[in-house]
Structure 1
């Protein structure tokens, strides 16, 4: 497991988690409230999307638990409560120390990959694609992309399509 892979997953979560929160925002601009008998109150047009709500809860719980476990394993004092994006930034700041412990690094990558995939599915993405820095060693274009669902890195330049890294 590579620290680069974990960094890609963390970046994906930092970018996509706010999009999940926006999915729960009603399109009418009003606050979503429920009637006593259930269902949205008149004036709201968006139904409650429970799978998005469940995904937000799962990712929030996962990030909190992951940060607590990482800080405990690294011998750091517990962090103050914070929103998910801030916790993800704090975890990203610890990647060098996490990489020094292979089992912790593997766990970190597995968990961030799981949460990023769940986030992508809830947002309706068939497959998430993450732009990577650098150039393709085969064609020298800036077309390197990570495909999380396939656990692969490849050049998306139509003339090249070089696969650089693929999970075995």
Structure 2
């Protein structure tokens, strides 16, 4: 059986690669349309200063991370999104450098965040051999993926799956299409796999990636066809 920490980490990395570029699109709010009835409030010294700060943030992001902020010359950026971009960028850089140092490989060259994430994904086989490192990488990628999703206002889809959890025997199996994974959402569920995060993290739920759906179907009573259909979207 593949290491569960590694399987979960691969899903979080894939989510970050897919959604991190969307943060740039969200960095500047859209301009008012001709049909908008909103009348802008009078400008104040405080508002002028805020705009100047936000524009400096936009310029700094562009200089440091190569991000072209749409409309930053005329529209203020969303500071919580810029903070998220900075946090994830710094987090990915520090994580890749720490992994390379721990594995004894040369320091990674500079690269955009998605490329760094793909390089980390390529090292998961070696990371798996060091349980402490694997757990750290899993926790960090999960944290950053969740922060990215919050900044984008995403609400992950959840689809009920028939059958019972093989570990806790409750009807708590749910499909998460964005991750293409099935989780047991019972907070009390604990599996018997030593590497699973459900033992040491109250927020973690046992997870079955796509490669384990056949075994899950055989053990839980659901059907693989149902899991495939669930990944297309919610039908609660």
TM-score (norm 2): 0.53
Q: Residues 75-104 of structure 1, C-alpha deviation per residue, up to 9 Å, x if partnerless?
A: 001011111001000000000000011111
Q: How many residues align?
A: 144
Assess if the C-alpha contact under 8 Å between 1:12 and 1:116 holds in 2.
yes
Residue in 1 aligned with 2:109? 80
Secondary structure class of the residue paired with 1:47: coil
8 A contact 1:63–1:88 mirrored in 2: yes
**Unmatched segments (≥5 aa) in structure 1:** 29-34, 146-154, 160-168
On the 8 A contact 1:131/1:143 being kept in 2, the answer is no
User: How do residues 2-21 of structure 1 correspond to structure 2 at under 5 angstroms?
Assistant: 2-21=5-24
- Partner in structure 2 of residue 58 of structure 1: 87
Contact residue 55 and residue 122 of structure 1 kept, 8 A: yes
Deviation at 1:127, TM superposition (A): 3.1
> Quick one: distance in 2 between partners of 1:43 and 1:75?
41
TM-score (normalised: structure 1) = 0.73
1:131 and 2:180 equivalent?
A: yes
Structure 2 Cα separation of the partners of residues 73 and 100 of structure 1: 11
Partner of 2:51: 39
CA gap of 1:48–1:77, structure 2 versus 1, over 3 A, is: same
Q: Is the 8 A contact 1:13 1:116 kept in 2?
A: yes
Alignment gaps of 5+ in structure 2: 32-46, 56-70, 158-177, 182-209
* Structure ranking higher in helix proportion: 2
- Are the equivalent residues in 1 in contact too, given 2:20–2:114 (CA < 8 A)? yes
